[in-house]
Chain A
Amino acid sequence: MKVIEIQGDPDDFLSGQIALVDADGIRKETRLDIVDRWPDLGDYLIIHAGFAIHTLDPQEAETNIRLMREMAEKVEAAEAVEQRT
């Protein structure tokens, strides 16, 4: 879910480390106490039982998709060759 607001201080556990996240208009407060990297606005969070466990920057996710597409395109390219020969 996308981070749209951040409260609290990454170095101060007592500051109430909370992000407001959004997905398709659904908003939820998520704790940032255990997230691997303090997020920036616009980052995406992977959430488990109310706690963000991982900050995913959009670029990382795009890379993940690109690698899969490459794997997939390789097949399509190979098939195209097979059909031509």
Chain B
Amino acid sequence: MKYLDEFRDQTLAEPLLKELRRSVTKPFRVMEVCGTHTMSIFRSGLRTLLPEEIELISGPGCPVCVTSASHIDAILAMAELQNTRIALFGDLFRVPGSNGLSLANASSQGAKVDIVYSPMDSLNLARKYPEELIVFLGVGFETTTPGIAATILAAKNSALDNFAVFSTHKTMPPPLLALLDDPELQIDGLLCPGHVSSIIGAGAYQPLADTYKLACVVGGFEPADILQALILMARQIANGEARVENAYTRAVRWEENSRAQQMVRAIFKTADMEWRGLGVIPESGLAIREEYSHYDAERRLNIKLTPATEPKGCRCGEILKGKEVPSQCPLYGKRCTPGNPVGPCMVSSEGTCAAFFKYTQ
């Protein structure tokens, strides 16, 4: 595919890797925040090629993994309601709630569950099943939310009544600030997410670079993109610098994508949000504004979140914070495998545990 293959080319990756080895002067720890980065680093085999001075830590950037057990329980409760059909991204299908059961189980018991590629596809479901309420599970960060906002607006404009969104939308900077305030977590650089940055702009990381003296580099998802970002980071660290740099110039600008952000602000307002493993982080989530409450599944179905505990022994919380690696979890590879996942980090294809299991076992 044009503008993908070029960045996967070995003739480009090989010299970049050499340049990276030359640029690394001392050991450093990088948090890759985005689940797509985690996946790409494993899938391309990059992890096996990087200089050993670079320690990669996966951050809380897999949207499915950070969805709290109480939100999953609420989703399962909605799936049981009469005349309700759940539309969702495929990753969520097998995520277990606090009782170990998932939407896959609910579906087998007769719940109406449809996997869609785009939130817009759920409007087609609403047209197809006029007697049902279609609840789209809004899960995701800055990249996904604008499309869901546009879908709500499209539902309103076409007077489609039987559609609502269950919003667990989250924003990326607040959990990063929360993590960086944790003295136990020592990191030198942040590999900033490509597509999130395309929406919020590279400038959004300036406070992180300033406050925490962190080398922040925005990187694309192909191997050459990641290598280029790591070279820039290694050079900053070698020179004792802490700046925001953009290695993904074809997709990310310094400024935000204002069309997308205006769409989000029109439909959503900031709200406190519970993150798996991180607890409730103030103003880290997005709730649907009053004006659009008709499209808010939480209000329309009167869903109450009840506190839920994570599965016993599951270390997803610590793994999401980058404090532990999957092999430190007592369940990893034993009770918890991609075929029979216990925690969300194993369920989602972007989850750290699934990536470790799939590509290194």
Are B143's CB and A2's CB within 8 A? no
C-alpha gap A60/B147 in the complex (Å): 24
Q: Which of B2, B140, B150, B195 contacts A23 (CB 8 A)?
A: B2
| Given A48-B147, A49-B89, A64-B250, A36:B19 Cβ within 8 A | no
Question: Quick check: is B357 within 8 A (CB to CB) of the other chain?
Answer: no
Are B147's CB and A69's CB within 8 A? no
Size band of the interface chain B makes with A:
35 or more
Are A31's CB and B260's CB within 8 A? no
Task: Identify which of B121, B195, B251 gathers the most chain A CB atoms within 10 Å of its CB.
Answer: B251
C-alpha gap A74/B159 in the complex (Å): 59
How far in angstroms is the closest Cβ of chain B from A29?
A: 9
How far in angstroms is the closest Cβ of chain B from A10?
A: 9
Are A35's CB and B12's CB within 8 A? no
C-alpha gap A75/B12 in the complex (Å): 11
B residues within 8 A CB of A4?
Answer: none
Are A53's CB and B260's CB within 8 A? yes
Are A51's CB and B146's CB within 8 A? yes
Those of A48-83 within 8 Å (CB) of chain B? 48-51, 53-54, 56, 60-61, 63-65, 67-69, 71-76, 79
Total number of residue pairs linking A and B with CB closer than 8 Å: 117
Those of A8-32 within 8 Å (CB) of chain B? 13-14, 23-24, 31
C-alpha gap A1/B153 in the complex (Å): 25
Are B263's CB and A56's CB within 8 A? no
Question: Quick check: is B1 within 8 A (CB to CB) of the other chain?
Answer: yes
C-alpha gap A79/B6 in the complex (Å): 23
Are A51's CB and B228's CB within 8 A? no
Question: Quick check: is B35 within 8 A (CB to CB) of the other chain?
Answer: no
Those of B4-21 within 8 Å (CB) of chain A? 6-7, 12, 14-16, 18-19
A residues within 8 A CB of B117?
Answer: 49-50
Closest to B148 in A: A49
C-alpha gap A50/B150 in the complex (Å): 11
Are B15's CB and A72's CB within 8 A? yes
Closest to B228 in A: A68
How far in angstroms is the closest Cβ of chain A from B121?
A: 7
Are A71's CB and B228's CB within 8 A? yes
Closest to A47 in B: B118
Q: Which of B15, B150, B258 contacts A73 (CB 8 A)?
A: B15
Are A14's CB and B146's CB within 8 A? no
C-alpha gap A48/B14 in the complex (Å): 29
How far in angstroms is the closest Cβ of chain B from A80?
A: 12
How far in angstroms is the closest Cβ of chain B from A34?
A: 4
Question: Quick check: is B198 within 8 A (CB to CB) of the other chain?
Answer: yes
Closest to A56 in B: B250
A residues within 8 A CB of B253?
Answer: 36
| Given A68-B224, A71-B228, A75-B22, A44:B195 Cβ within 8 A | no
Question: Quick check: is B199 within 8 A (CB to CB) of the other chain?
Answer: yes
Question: Quick check: is A46 within 8 A (CB to CB) of the other chain?
Answer: yes
Question: Quick check: is B211 within 8 A (CB to CB) of the other chain?
Answer: no
Listed from nearest, the 10 A-B pairs whose CB atoms lie closest are A50-B118, A72-B15, A51-B147, A33-B150, A34-B260, A36-B257, A34-B146, A64-B250, A75-B15, A61-B250
Given contacts A65-B6, A67-B249, 17 further A-B contacts (CB under 8 A): A2-B2, A31-B150, A33-B147, A35-B259, A36-B257, A36-B260, A49-B117, A49-B119, A50-B117, A53-B143, A53-B195, A53-B198, A63-B249, A64-B249, A68-B224, A72-B12, A79-B18
Contact surface of A with B, Cβ cutoff 8 Å: 1-2, 13-14, 23-24, 31, 33-36, 44, 46, 48-51, 53-54, 56, 60-61, 63-65, 67-69, 71-76, 79
